Amino acid sequence: MPFFSYSTPSLRKRFNRSARLNASPKTMSSEIDRLLTTLTDPAARKGFEMEMVSFKQMFSRYSSCKEQGTRLDWDKISPPLPDQLVEYNNLTRQADSTSLNKLAVLKVNGGLGTSMGIKGAKSALEVKDGLTFLDLIVQQIQHLNATMHTDVPLVVMTSFKTQVDTIKVIKKYINDPVRILTFNQSRYPRVFRDTMLPCPRTADDENRTWYPPGHGDLFLSLRRSGVLEQLLSEGKEYLFVSNSDNLGAVVDPVILQHLSESESEFLMEVTAKTKGDLKGGTLVNYDGSLRLLELGQVPFEHIEDFKSAFNFRTLNTNNLWINLKALKRILDNVGLDLDIIKKSRYLDNGKVVIQLETAAGSVIKHFEKAHGVIVPRGRFLPVKNCADLLLIRSDVYQIENGSLRPNDHRPFQTTPTVKLSDNFRSVDELDSRFKTIPSMLELDHLTVTGDVRFGRACDLRGTVIVAATEGQRIDIPDGSVLENRNLNMIEL
């Protein structure tokens, strides 16, 4: 019989916790070095080694604060002070071509469309009129350069999961006047939760054992790729960053002018919260300084306080304006100590892994005179699910030079609310249930649940609710006009 016996659940739990704590940064470093030995190509070894330096640093920081966790001290959190936020409507002057020539545009493009049943890059999805997210982004830059006589380059940050799909789309613009630069963000190893050791067995192990560590990685990857130095050598001083699936994030010369005049090194665009935004990140005053607060950093007992629009009225759009010289100074001198967000995931075999991520907006604490700009909702039009996509594809919006604009013929300024059940979860399911996208010019609210299919040229007005009971199907005939209707199997 062994001297020690871990037979009781409480003792086993304590043993597993001790094992996790004993998986020290030194042990992790040794495991990463072992992965390095599995690469034979010198260039690949060098690139992997550079990438893993930042991962080791992040893991070490996480390990040092693991006892208290990655959640912030709620007692130090309060709403932003008045001088930490600026109203967009109070900004009046626009940047001229001279200032615009100092600008570069970066799109965060590392995400997949898994929430919409897409296996590849979401940015390669057809959004409207046969155009993908990336097509629309390129058109925006082309229009800006043509009308303002500028040379604003487009920089696209991909991940190892989206790089191939991204290149397929942008290669058709190789002979166009717009300059497109691409670089890959980091690839970090997932970590087993029970052992706190890396999942991959080799540096070339399958993709499911690796992950892109969030958009906060863009700053280190921008420098490691050499793109930061290239932009600075070309005289670029400002960088506008936004997510590729945010169709409202276009270059705004008014905000650029404010960035220059205020001598701020960093601006974050925020917008008023809605009921659908309660889990999104927000700017807060943290112990006297401006910080980005994400849901994963909130103590469990204060999650409802965080979601309350009475406490925190604004939402981070992830539209960021950055002084490139200041970014280089910070990277070279003090480095970026970004807040770590821990996420848990399940592998196909049921094992639980964790991945450590950072948010780009959390860099705000490192810049001088950084503040938020409260922008109209039109600058935040992300496509996160098929309900968003249906609305974007409808006649509520129209495309003008790559930008999404509200249809002038819609009689209301508000945007319709669209709610779809799980029957419409994937893009393929959405396409199969709508022969054509209905007109929504006069729609206020649409809820569709169950097995429902729409014919061609339907017109939805007012409040429309269509609910099919389980095992039943509703077919809306071609040319139907539904105005303030509540349809279910009993009514039909």
Q: Sort 366 into a burial class: Cβ within 10 Å, 0-12 / 13-18 / 19+.
A: buried
Does 122 carry a binding-site annotation?
Answer: yes
Does 307 carry a binding-site annotation?
Answer: no
Around 492, how many Cα atoms within 13 Å sit in the side-chain half-sphere? 16
Does 335 carry a binding-site annotation?
Answer: no
Q: From the candidates 168, 342, 365, 384, which is the catalytic residue?
A: 384
Residue 384 is a catalytic residue: yes
Does 128 carry a binding-site annotation?
Answer: no
Task: Measure the CA–CA gap between 196 and 190, rounded to whole angstroms.
Answer: 9
Around 250, how many Cα atoms within 13 Å sit in the side-chain half-sphere? 23
For residue 226, give both structure tokens: 């050499």
Block residue for tokens 């930008």: 403
Helix, strand or coil, per DSSP, at residue 442: strand
- Residues 84, 317: contact at Cβ < 8 Å? no
Q: Comparing C-alpha atoms, which of 262, 260, 249, 252 is closest to residue 324? A: 260
Task: Measure the CA–CA gap between 284 and 265, rounded to whole angstroms.
Answer: 18
Burial readout 155-189 (b: 16 or more C-beta within 10 A, e: otherwise): bbbbbebbbebbeebbeebeeeebebbbbbbbbbb
Q: Which residue type is seen at 441?
A: L
Does 215 carry a binding-site annotation?
Answer: yes
Does 111 carry a binding-site annotation?
Answer: no
- Residues 231, 223: contact at Cβ < 8 Å? no
62-67: Cβ within 8 A, 24+ apart: 62/340, 62/342, 62/356, 63/24, 63/25, 63/28, 65/340, 66/21
DSSP symbols for 311-364: T--EEEEEEEEEEHHHHHHHHHHT---PPPEEEEEE-TTS-EEEEEE--GGGGG
| Binding-site residue positions for substrate | 215
Active centre residues (catalytic): 384
Q: Residues comprising the binding site?
A: 122, 185, 214-215, 245, 384
Name the binding residues for UTP: 122, 185, 214, 245, 384
